[in-house]
Amino acid sequence: MKIRRPQQKRSLIWAGIILLGGIVCGSALGVFLTLTHDLPRIQELENFRPSSVTKLFSVEGEVIGEFFVEKRVPVALEEVPTYLQQAVIAVEDRRFYKHAGLDWRGIARAIVKDIRAGRLKEGGSTITQQLAKVLFLNPEKTLTRKLKEAILALQIERRYRKDEILALYLNQIYLGGGAYGVEAAANRYFGKHVWELDLAECALIAGLPRGPTLYSPLVNPDKALARRATVLKSLLDTGRINNEQYGATVEEPIQLAFSSSSGAEAPYFISFIRPRLEEVLGENLLYRGGLTIQTTLRKNWQQVAVQALEQGLSALESRHRDEYEEGERPQGAVLVLDARTGMIRAMVGGRDYEISQFNRATQAYRQPGSAFKPIIYSYALEKGYTQADLIWDAPVSYPQTGGELWQPQNYSGRFEGEITLRKALEISQNIVTIKLLERLGPSPVVDFARHLGIASVLHSGLSLALGTSEVTLLDLTSAYQVFANGGIWVEPSGIAEVLDHNGRSIWKAASASRVAISQETAYILTNMLQGVIQRGTGRGARNLAYPLAGKTGTTERSRDALFVGYSPAVVTGVWVGNDNGRPLGHKETGARAALPIWREVMGKVLPETTAADFVKPETVTLVRMDVRSGLLANGDCKDAAEAAFIKGTEPAKHCAGSGKGQLEKFY
């Protein structure tokens, strides 16, 4: 038997140790490479910019809404109150400024807890580890993920200062209620900027990372209060606050700010412009890019419109309180456009966006009634008619398919005999408008309405004269904008400019425009519609001391009530009706149900516009005309008005002074 010498034995032992060490090191290296081969590069943090909130601003520069996937508003660390920084560190990672990314004491405690619990829990993570998980990893609770988290934490700590890590954490962590980061949370819960928070508010927010839903004051106010007390105790234990501060603050009730779920000052308007923004910017940039959207909305005008609509609808309800079914309430819409640019200055699509997101200013197709008549009259002016032309207002009948007769009526039930186009428009006589449409031809009028911006489907029958084809309030108001703007149609728009997160312009609106009618037609029709307000169905607005023109609209059985009117600067449309099409109530006309809302809006808006009159073209002359006969008025003519004509088409003869006088009742 061969005997091994001691030296040979030692050599074999060392060889075994080296081999075993190689196996262990190789295995460890293999595990390390497996864990790290798909880890993100920490250098990416250099260019990291968190998903931010896109804000929408009014003309006055005030925030009226926000777009976001995650509600995150990054702030610098110096903007975060010291109490909030200290509170987060006290409850999440007391040794944050002492460890190098991993807290071995905390890890040891967590291992003991995991063994006792018989499962892997989340204990032991430092702020740096939590940041690594939030930025780079998924939230699964596995040993592999915990090891990756630890490796990333060590890499982050080697590359970045503690304050930089803390700032990233405070801007990234989810804090419940859709809020990511402390600024978003401060706004969500308290309606404040983060730098405005007091000690109690800081403590509440600092307690949320461990359980954003569990400790949310919106979901579990009692648990939120208890968690806040825990945070305050941690601040006391670490010497960040004294006993007096602790005692006073721990007893404070939680006072949250009211927050509308729509998150917007003008929710119908914001919902209207959202698809256009998605189209031009893309959803990723819009919802994650932290953009600044400069809208065309004037916040104070929007508030005026909201209040006026509610007041008008409440008054309508009080007049017919016993006629409405339980839970049924009349609805309405208000739209205000800039007469020159077509920019939307206010948009109210209903009484309450929280209850109904249906936008009645842009999505509701309803009959405009007599508010459609100015389109027919403007086409007549384009074709050479004048406001002095006469049409016989008398009963008519038209044969229909099946042998039936259509016998339209005037709303008043009266017939005025031979009257001018001006008078017929002022008192909204149906028969005269039907006869005028018959002469012009319904199909050409439909094409003309398209040119004025009416995109809705219009039926080319004689009932078009009564406004039976359904349109949106936006289309109708846009058509009136042509009359206010000297014949030029401008596409309505709600977006002025978009800036990126650095304040650089990346998109500007370029609204389509075109000459829709002649300047002469626009001025003459405006002159006729001024008569509607001064002497006709819209005279409920004549106490406003501004140049105004407009037209009422009422549909069959008072299902819809409208008033659309304008000054040289502003065009406003109002619709009132029931969503289910039920009548509003007996004699609820445009003059009674819609005009008061319009008057309230314009009364508040007009003082903020430039005082000016409608611009008269040089080719137009003004004469004093008897509105019944269409002749020049003399001292004996009782129904006279200053009427506009293209030079050479004005009446040449004087009336004989036999006018009947102004009608005393209008509908």
- Rounded to the nearest integer, the mean pLDDT of the chain is 88
Top mean pLDDT of 72-86, 275-289, 360-374 is at: 360-374
User: What is the pLDDT, as a whole number, of residue 534?
Assistant: 95
Indicate whether 536 pLDDT > 70. Answer: yes
Q: What is the mean pLDDT of residues 392-402?
A: 92
Residues 203, 228 contacting (CB under 8 angstroms): yes
- Phi and psi at 632, nearest 5°, equal -60, 140
Measured CA to CA in angstroms, residue 457 lies from 68, 72, 372, 460, 573 at distances of 36, 44, 14, 10, 20
Amino acid letter, residue 26: G
The lowest-confidence range among 38-42, 192-196, 559-563 is 38-42
pLDDT tens sequence across 160-207: 899 999 999 999 888 988 888 999 999 999 999 999 999 999 999 999
pLDDT tens sequence across 227-280: 999 999 999 999 999 999 999 999 999 999 865 544 468 999 999 999 999 999
Indicate whether 518 pLDDT > 60. Answer: yes
Name every residue whose Cβ is closer than 8 Å to that of residue 312 and which is 6 or more positions away in sequence. Answer: 332, 574, 576, 593, 594, 596, 597, 600
pLDDT tens sequence across 322-367: 887 777 899 999 999 999 999 999 999 999 998 899 999 999 999 9
Using a pLDDT cut of 90, give the percent of the chain over it.
Answer: 69
User: What is the pLDDT, as a whole number, of residue 335?
Assistant: 98
User: What is the pLDDT, as a whole number, of residue 324?
Assistant: 78
Q: What is the mean pLDDT of residues 372-396?
A: 97
Residues taking part in catalysis? 92, 370
Q: The whole model's pTM is what?
A: 0.78
Residues 99, 126 contacting (CB under 8 angstroms): yes
Domains of the chain are 72-250 (1.10.3810.10)
Confidence of residue 41 (pLDDT cuts 50, 70, 90): low
Indicate whether 635 pLDDT > 80. Answer: no
